[in-house]
Structure 1
Amino acid sequence: MPDFKKPRHAIPCSADPGYDDHLFDEADFYCRRPRPKPKDHRPKKDVQFVCGTAVGLSLPIFDVAVASTSGGPSSSFGLVAGTVNLDTSGMAHPATKVDFSSIINFLINLNEYSGGLLLQIDFRLSKICDGHKVHLGTWTYKRSISIGGALSPGVQLQSVPGFSLQVDFREPFNFSFCECDPCPAGCCTYVVEIVNVNSFSIASASLTNVSISALAVDQ
């Protein structure tokens, strides 16, 4: 039987001693090899995430604006609840987001409860860059019950031996702020302050589980 040689189109991509050497040299021409994936030449975005410094506060219970009193770090503008430093000097067009969260706690005495109560807390976010302070926004927490109204399901009755019955109320409060700065100022400090507290029939109030963070992404 004559010795038939396999056609070139049947030559595999791997070496086979049954094929002639001169035909095997041309095997690469007929092999389909996987093409390399194109490289992504787009520049990677610069991203920064920073956790700030936050503290719990005992809030003064007055029907006036907060002054520089004890109960936490204070400034000439109010009680400082949290700060975070963010450096965007290496970014061309940074987009910044600041997140603030907390739990507001307050007590009322049932023997002093006249069917109405009020607690209003104003939070102000500011940005300090090169010693200049700019106010960015104000967020308000407000809880009120009119005369004759029932207590909210979120309250917890707390029995204190030797004293009257108290109601312990806890509620989360948080806000977010976003800005796109076409002219980044470098390293800035974002500050959350309590600038006003109004209350009626409130025994005590405090701020706990406070957290502040900042995220910057170069557009």
Structure 2
Amino acid sequence: MELYKAPKEDIERHNNNKCCDEHKYDYCCPKSPCAYPILFECAQGTGVDIPKLDSSKAFAPRSLGCVTIDTSCLKNPVVKFDFDSVIKYKDKENDQPTTLIFGLFKTCDNRQEIPCGTWEFAITFTNTPLQELTTSFNFTHCECNSCPGCCTYTVKIIDAISDRGDEFSVCNTSLSVMAKSGH
């Protein structure tokens, strides 16, 4: 008794349909085989302690985390980036403002890092021997009709400005990015 063999064309069609069902957008984006109309990526960042700021020394930038999103499948991507954190601050007898400057940078398809913007956290306490504060800090950045590609967004503290002795801790950092096709 001979077993039935399906014609070669039927087998290929079945395999192609199965593949198309499982990887509907594969033709569009080899980097992301299962892209959707709206993309979302998120990451937990790293915290950083900034002990005793000294205005006489240059500040070394510190990275707080990064998140990567692949918008290769999207036409004229609209991208929204969100950063959230908690800042713990100690002021040692200082009535001058103390400032942290956060920078957002983007690197797409392993090319050069591009600055996207800066955001400032500033605080001043007046004539008190020691003050402590814990507060949230966040910012949002939007890009319309950006170029499609695989992009990594990185948040850094790029500068800290203080006259003397202030201490910061930036913790509980969270980064998220959403993207969809634009018009």
Q: Fold match, TM over 0.5? A: yes
Q: Give the share of equivalent positions with the same residue, in percent.
A: 31
1:206 paired with 2:175, answer no
Pick from 44, 49, 66 the counterpart of residue 40 of structure 2. Answer: 49
Pick from 58, 74, 79 the counterpart of residue 91 of structure 1. Answer: 74
Tell me the residue number matched to 1:137: 117
1:170 paired with 2:148, answer no
TM-superposed CA distance for 1:167, in Å, is: 2.8
Tell me the residue number matched to 1:24: none
Q: How does 1:1-219 map to 2 (within 5 A)?
A: 46-60=37-51, 61-63=53-55, 64-67=57-60, 78-109=61-92, 113=93, 116-129=95-108, 130-145=110-125, 149=126, 166-184=130-148, 186-219=149-182
Q: 1:203 to 1:143 in 2, by over 3 A?
A: closer
Contact 2:54 2:165 in 1 (8 A): no
In structure 2, distance between residues paired with 1:183 and 1:144? 41
TM-superposed CA distance for 1:82, in Å, is: 1.6
In structure 1, distance between residues paired with 2:44 and 2:150? 16
Contact 2:80 2:143 in 1 (8 A): yes
For the aligned residue pairs, the C-alpha RMSD in angstroms reads 2.0
In structure 2, distance between residues paired with 1:80 and 1:193? 4
TM-superposed CA distance for 1:205, in Å, is: 1.2
In structure 2, distance between residues paired with 1:65 and 1:175? 25
Alignment gaps of 5+ in structure 1: 1-44, 68-77, 152-164
Larger radius of gyration: 1
Q: SS of the counterpart of 1:90?
A: coil
In structure 2, distance between residues paired with 1:187 and 1:196? 28
Contact 2:67 2:177 in 1 (8 A): yes
Contact 1:53 1:82 in 2 (8 A): yes
Q: 1:182 to 1:138 in 2, by over 3 A?
A: closer
Q: 1:132 to 1:203 in 2, by over 3 A?
A: closer
**One-letter identity of the residue aligned with 2:97:** L
Q: Give the count of matched residue pairs.
A: 144
TM-superposed CA distance for 1:144, in Å, is: 2.0
Contact 1:66 1:194 in 2 (8 A): no
TM-superposed CA distance for 1:182, in Å, is: 4.6
In structure 2, distance between residues paired with 1:203 and 1:123? 17
